[in-house]
Amino acid sequence: MFLLFHIAVPLIVFEIPQIKNRFEFNRLALIIGSIFPDIIDKPFLLLSLGSGRGISHTLLFAIVSFLILFLITRGNKPVSISFLIGIIAHLLLDLPEIPLFFPFINYDFYILDDPLGEWIHTLFNNPIVFATEIIGLSILVIILLMNKLYNIKQITNYFIKTHSQKTRYEKIITI
């Protein structure tokens, strides 16, 4: 429901050196994947079309989205797998309030009359939600400082470029 924590958690996991140096991944795809379920379901609520959670907060949605992106990017694994990891992270952070196995299991969907008002009220009146957003913002600031990203160009390059392991030759040159 709230962006900062959904973005920050998968990003900080991929800052762990053992993970960062072992896997090839795309940070932008990871971020988009981490908010993609909400990008799909929030317009349904805002337009009073029902809950989009039955569509976008399911394992079926995660798998189908991954396969579509994998095909669109012609098998670009760093992009498509990063996107899938972002979606899975989102679903894990939203547990237990999601219809994970819909449409195979029926769920009751709660429809908000005033979604925007409810979200703002929840943000400022639910200490857990407020704390997670502050933690998310703090994590993002830590990532920027750890990677010495002090201007828009550096930040943009950090998020757009696919992180890959250095080749043996590159490691020798940087030593």
Alpha-carbon separation of residue 19 from 129, 145, 165 (angstroms): 28, 19, 10
DSSP string, 21-68: TT--EEHHHHHHHHHHHHHHHHHHHHTTS--SHHHHSSHHHHHHHHHH
User: How far, in Å, CA of 114 to CA of 117, rounded?
Assistant: 5
Give the pLDDT confidence score for residue 114 in this predicted structure: 82
Under-70 pLDDT residues of the chain: 1, 165-175
Give the pLDDT confidence score for residue 174 in this predicted structure: 47
Give the pLDDT confidence score for residue 116 in this predicted structure: 83
Q: 135-147, pLDDT tens digit by residue? A: 999 999 999 999 9
Does the bond joining 96 to the residue before it have cis omega, within 30 degrees of 0? yes
Give the pLDDT confidence score for residue 96 in this predicted structure: 84
Give the pLDDT confidence score for residue 166 in this predicted structure: 52
Alpha-carbon separation of residue 20 from 13, 26, 101, 135 (angstroms): 8, 11, 31, 21
Give the pLDDT confidence score for residue 1 in this predicted structure: 61
Buried/exposed code over 60-76 (b: 16+ C-beta within 10 A; e: otherwise): ebbeebbeebbeeeeeb
Instruction: Please choose, from the candidates 112, 109, 114, 85, the residue with its C-alpha nearest in 3D space to the C-alpha of residue 98.
Output: 109
Report whether 51 contacts 45 (CB < 8 A). Answer: yes
User: How far, in Å, CA of 37 to CA of 62, rounded?
Assistant: 9
Give the pLDDT confidence score for residue 169 in this predicted structure: 43
Give the pLDDT confidence score for residue 98 in this predicted structure: 85
Q: 157-172, pLDDT tens digit by residue? A: 888 877 775 544 444 4
